[in-house]
Homo-oligomer: A and B are copies of this chain.
């Protein structure tokens, strides 16, 4: 029997997936499982986007342009302009989700054995893309005690080697909910210029910032043009995760021209999804106002409920729709499984994502979980109530 690749063996399985069979089994026992573990919003997709697909006039569903249709890329550039980000259609390649944008970015700037520094905890799939490319993730720990703010620049400098090619941030952060300040972004900009590195920012949660905070993009930093690569996606912005449309954006011509070669190999991004995504740009502002208001009130409810639980520490999120929570347990993995296997309160339990899967350093985050607040407030209140009772029972068992 022929053997699979070493890389295939090293590819991380989804940190959430191993709990799925336990959730399925609980459901089969008739237990209602409240999912705090996934980032799939319950928010409706803008009607304008769904209607555009309903009204399509396609007779031959042909390849689109490799880099995405000209009109769509021009409209994306106009969207960025409104965010005070000055790019043109030629700085943009439309991708199959933010996932593909990240994969193109890594392939474009990194070879096997190269290193990328990422503040942890970080979006678990960064590990997958790095492993697929044979690239080494060098984590730098951020702490729940500072809400997962940027680690000191001096700590980054200790980790830079001749193999370091880039620093990758997620802003606002999944799973941390942390929004980097303008000053933090400028510190990173100075650092990557000093060491001639790329700075990749996953800005898919750009719209989700709270309490009047402004998102500051790496594309807004003067003088960073040749270093900055943004990974973007329509998935969360318009609650259309199933579209699989994103883009890679850079003013660095060589980066875009090289990424285009990776894009050519896969021919084109999906056509129906581009129709939906182009139309989504017409979404009225009140859609976002309503969505943000909803997330803010969900966040407020969730955080205040969690803060009432004994021994629980919460990082207050300033953006995105996740928060990392430290629990009074030794092993959140075991607790998460126990919640699904052994616990119920009036026929319900909760499924959480153990945070260890968001850290690259073994041992870190073992007592933390990630909660996605993409459910209605009543559900969140109920879920935290269940969590509180479960913690008591778990810790006295």
Contacts and interface: CB of A to CB of B under 8 A. Distances in A.
B270 A273 contact: yes
Q: By CB atoms of chain B within 10 A, which of A9, A14, A63 has the most?
A: A63
B63 A40 contact: yes
Contacts of A254: 4
A362 interface: no
A271 interface: yes
Contacts of A112: 112, 134
Contact of A132 (B11, B49, B63, B262): B262
A116 to B, nearest CB: 12
Interface string A84-108: 0000000000001101100100011
B53 A265 contact: no
Interface string A21-65: 000000000000000000011111100011001111011111110
Contacts of A43: 60
Contacts of A110: 5
Nearest to A129: B265
Q: By CB atoms of chain B within 10 A, which of A13, A108, A243, A244 has the most?
A: A244
Contacts of A128: 261-262, 264-265
Contact of A61 (B64, B240, B271): B240
Contacts of A339: none
> For chain A, which range describes its interface: under 10, 10 to 19, 20 to 34, or 35 or more residues?
35 or more
Contacts of A244: 96, 267-271
Q: By CB atoms of chain B within 10 A, which of A11, A56, A99, A272 has the most?
A: A272
A141 to B, nearest CB: 23
Nearest to A99: B266
A160 interface: no
Nearest to A132: B107
A55 B56 CA distance: 10
Contact of A59 (B40, B44, B197): B44
Nearest to A240: B61
A56 B50 contact: yes
Interface of A: 1-2, 4-9, 11-14, 17, 40-45, 49-50, 53-56, 58-64, 66, 96-97, 99-100, 103, 107-112, 114, 125, 128-129, 132, 134, 165-166, 192, 196-198, 226-227, 239-244, 252, 254-255, 258, 261-262, 264-273, 276
